[in-house]
Amino acid sequence: MLGLQGIALVTGAARGIGRATAVAFARAGVAGIHLTDVRSTLLEDTAKDAISAAMNPNFRVFTSVVDATKEDQVVQMVNDTVKTFGRVDYAANIAGVLDISSVTADVTMAEYDRVNNINARGVFMCMREELRAMRKQDPVVHIPGRPAIRGAITNLGSLAGQLAAPGMNSYTASKHAVVGMTKAAALNHALDAIRVNVVCPGFVDTEMLGDVWDVDQSEGVREVIPMKRMGRPEEIADHVLFSVSQLSSYMTGHSWIVDGGYGIA
């Protein structure tokens, strides 16, 4: 239904939303996926899950340990995707970190730089290299009746890229940056037949959130979400896949807020 028969690249694929996105791509019928993360063992587990879920009989997957803050590694990541599969049709830039630490006056520049190097600079470098590769490839029709497209990119933002929350200074800045760079890239490359969008989740029940919050904090958040629960990684992955698919062929530069109604409560 989604018409995803091409090649996908997923960063931050070792766990959480990245893993769910990788498995969803495989289940949707893509021909191949390049999975990347800094956690090699967990990355291989994701690859196994993707193989088990794959619907395309010719499905292929390969993994690379990539630090998204290192420009040379990001360049190599995209080059390896094209070298292995011939092109990259869909890119999901999921890699990132969560930071909940201190009020603005107490933020150190080391803390600020660490978060923004991964969440903002890292996403920008990934997106830039993906755009460079996509501009060189021929447009393809994935669904009859829809226009041919060279590629589609979805960045992972956050509700923190739309709002602000106490103690989330560096993280909020980084996710606002992701929203802004997504809009700029979408505008700059619309005539290249490349679409760029951003998915902005609210609170999602992932290992990353569990790393920084205890049970009481998680329960407190659930109470203020209208749906009275956190999102699931698979629910965010659904929006990532829709936004790169040709079912959203007239959408670019858009921010998808997926938060269980938290932002309107």
Structure tokens at 65: 């340990």
Instruction: Give the H or E element holding residue 93.
Output: strand 90-93
Structure tokens at 180: 């802004």
Task: Decide if pLDDT at 203 tops 60.
Answer: yes
Confidence grade of residue 224 (pLDDT, cut at 50, 70, 90):
confident
Q: What is the mean predicted confidence (pLDDT) over 196-217?
A: 79
Residue 83's contacts (CB-CB under 8 Å, 6 or more residues apart) are none
Distance CA 193, CA 219 (A): 44
239 residue type, one letter: H
Collapsing DSSP states into helix, strand and coil, what is residue 183?
Answer: helix
Task: Decide if pLDDT at 211 tops 70.
Answer: no
Q: Domains of the chain: which residue ranges?
A: 7-264
Distance CA 263, CA 265 (A): 6
pLDDT for residue 8:
99
Distance CA 133, CA 255 (A): 23
Is 48 in the active site?
A: no
pLDDT for residue 214:
61
Q: What is the pLDDT of residues 72-120, one digit of tens each?
A: 999 999 999 999 999 999 999 999 998 877 789 999 999 999 999 999 9
pLDDT for residue 101:
75
Token pair 């909020």 is found at 172
Mean pLDDT in the chain?
A: 94
Distance CA 189, CA 175 (A): 21
Confidence grade of residue 210 (pLDDT, cut at 50, 70, 90):
low
Residue 102's contacts (CB-CB under 8 Å, 6 or more residues apart) are 111, 167, 169
Confidence grade of residue 213 (pLDDT, cut at 50, 70, 90):
low
Confidence grade of residue 206 (pLDDT, cut at 50, 70, 90):
confident
pLDDT for residue 207:
79
Task: Decide if pLDDT at 55 tops 60.
Answer: yes
Which has more pLDDT, 256 or 215? Answer: 256
Confidence grade of residue 52 (pLDDT, cut at 50, 70, 90):
very high
Confidence grade of residue 49 (pLDDT, cut at 50, 70, 90):
very high
User: Which of 90, 112, 175, 183 is an active site residue?
Assistant: 175
pLDDT for residue 53:
98
Distance CA 14, CA 38 (A): 8
Collapsing DSSP states into helix, strand and coil, what is residue 151?
Answer: strand
Q: What is the mean predicted confidence (pLDDT) over 121-138?
A: 99
Token pair 């800045």 is found at 173
Neighbouring CB atoms inside 10 A of 242's CB total 17
70 phi/psi in degrees, rounded to 5? -100, 115
Task: Decide if pLDDT at 4 tops 80.
Answer: yes
Lowest mean pLDDT among 45-59, 130-144, 210-224: 210-224
CATH number belonging to the domain at 7-264, selected among 3.40.50.300, 2.40.50.100, 3.40.50.720, 3.40.50.150: 3.40.50.720
pLDDT for residue 265:
77
User: Which of 83, 171, 228, 250 is an active site residue?
Assistant: 171
Instruction: Give the H or E element holding residue 21.
Output: helix 16-28
CB 91 within 8 A of CB 154: yes
pLDDT for residue 1:
75
Helices 169-189 & 123-136, crossing angle to 10 degrees? Answer: 10
Indicate the burial class of 16 (C-beta count within 10 angstroms; 0-12, 13-18, 19 or more).
buried
Distance CA 43, CA 24 (A): 15
Distance CA 128, CA 224 (A): 37
Q: What is the mean predicted confidence (pLDDT) over 217-233?
A: 84
Task: Decide if pLDDT at 217 tops 80.
Answer: no
